[in-house]
Chains A and B, each alone.
Chain A
Amino acid sequence: EAGVAQSPRYKIIEKRQSVAFWCNPISGHATLYWYQQILGQGPKLLIQFQNNGVVDDSQLPKDRFSAERLKGVDSTLKIQPAKLEDSAVYLCASSLRTRETQYFGPGTRLLVL
């Protein structure tokens, strides 16, 4: 069974630029999560989708971050414009249903200069 795929693996941008990350969850998984993990911290949930609907985006900085899962399968997370403090690993995870075991992708490491 293929795992959660993410791309790119690494991205370096300058502040005020835009960046987008892509996630393809495990086939059949209805729930998809985007997390931000700053160095030395645990992951922080940015947004959770159930199929193509948003379940929780309370910690998503909506002035600069957006995410979509239009067809209920893969998802994109965008930052526009990026700030220095957005430097982090962005992790995507999926689960068969909400509150079941989450399977994590390898993450995208973002560096904002």
Chain B
Amino acid sequence: KNEVEQSPQNLTAQEGEFITINCSYSVGISALHWLQQHPGGGIVSLFMLSSGKKKHGRLIATINIQEKHSSLHITASHPRDSAVYICAVRSPNSGYALNFGKGTSLLVTP
């Protein structure tokens, strides 16, 4: 069983909708990352969280350390938000390595 589970696996939304992607993990962590991967492979780091909430533009990331859960929210979604969103955690048990989820594939239609 992967230490990092994401849901949903696939998500289709209409432009303007509010989107939530969830990430659950089973180990103690020192940090959680949300990344965006566009077709063609390029990965961009969106957030690095160890507690609370961060906001950047229309993106909001939250983390609940006690519940071992994080969410990525996209407000007023746009077709250019279509991408794979990946959650990754850094655990003291795994040294410096990031442990990645399988990703959530998001398609936003006009």
- Which A residues fall within an 8 A CB radius of B? 37, 40-45, 48, 55-56, 89, 91, 93, 98-99, 101-107, 109
With most chain B CB atoms within 10 A of its CB, the pick from A42, A48, A89, A101 is A42
Give complex CA distance A103, B43 in Å: 8
Residue of A nearest to B45 (CB): A101
Cβ B98 vs Cβ A45 within 8 A? yes
Distance of B88 from chain A, by nearest CB (Å)? 7
Given known pairs A45-B97, A48-B97, the reply for A99 and B45 (CB within 8 Å) is no
Complex CA gap A84/B48 in Å reads 35
Q: Which residues of A are found within 8 Å of B35, using beta-carbon distances? A: 104
Give, as a whole number of angstroms, the nearest-CB distance from A77 to chain B: 15
Nearest 5 interchain pairs by C-beta: A42-B100, A107-B41, A104-B43, A45-B97, A101-B45
Q: In the bound complex, do residue B88 and residue A42 qualify as a contact, i.e. CB atoms below 8 Å apart?
A: yes
How many angstroms from the CA of A34 to the CA of B107 in the assembled complex?
A: 28
What are 22 A-B pairs with beta-carbon distances under 8 A? A40-B102, A41-B102, A42-B4, A42-B86, A42-B102, A43-B43, A43-B86, A44-B100, A48-B96, A55-B95, A55-B96, A91-B41, A91-B43, A99-B90, A99-B96, A101-B45, A103-B45, A104-B45, A105-B42, A106-B42, A107-B40, A107-B41
For the complex, give the distance between the alpha carbons of A55 and B44 in Å: 23
CB-contacts of B10-68 with A (<8 A): 30-31, 33, 35, 40-45, 48
Q: Are A42 and B101 in contact (CB under 8 A)?
A: yes
Residues of B within 8 A of A48 (CB): 96-97
A48 — nearest CB in chain B belongs to which residue? B96
In whole Å, how far is B38's beta carbon from the nearest beta carbon of chain A?
Answer: 10
Count chain A CB atoms within 10 A of each CB in B4, B35, B40, B98 and give the residue with the most. Answer: B98
